[in-house]
């Protein structure tokens, strides 16, 4: 499965879940819509967003480290090959 179709599927699922949540809101009891519950959900979403950002940062750092390692190994191989050609 190519990345574009996967991204479209994920976007559709998120959009569908949001629309379903909007539709189901009218069926919730009133005590589930209080400001305390809304604040708890906001805090929970903040934690999820923060953890996602940290994970994404670690993923990017890992990918950069792997790229830098491969680049330095390639440079070393090229230098060794160049030295052997000179001899």
Give Rg (Cα) of the chain.
25
Q: What is the pLDDT of residue 69?
A: 95
* Confidence band, pLDDT 50/70/90 cuts, at residue 86: confident
Structure-token match 């569908």, residue found: 16
Query: Do 59 and 78 share a domain, yes or no?
Result: yes
Q: What is the pLDDT of residue 49?
A: 96
Structural domain including 1 reads: 1-33
Of the spans 7-16, 26-35, 76-85, which averages the highest pLDDT?
7-16
Query: Do 48 and 19 share a domain, yes or no?
Result: no
Considering its fold, how many domains does the chain have in total? 2
Structure-token match 């005590």, residue found: 31
The two most distant CA atoms of the chain are separated, in Å, by 84
Q: Is the confidence at residue 70, as pLDDT, over 80?
A: yes
């Amino acid at each position: 499965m190519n990345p574009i179709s996967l991204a479209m599927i994920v976007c559709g699922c998120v959009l569908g879940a949001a629309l379903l949540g909007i539709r189901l809101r009218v069926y919730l009891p009133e005590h589930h819509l209080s400001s305390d519950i809304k604040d708890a959900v906001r805090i929970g979403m903040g934690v999820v967003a923060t953890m996602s950002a940290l994970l994404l940062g670690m993923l990017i750092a890992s990918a950069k480290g792997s790229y830098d390692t491969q680049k330095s190994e390639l440079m070393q191989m090229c230098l060794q090959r160049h030295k052997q050609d000179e001899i």
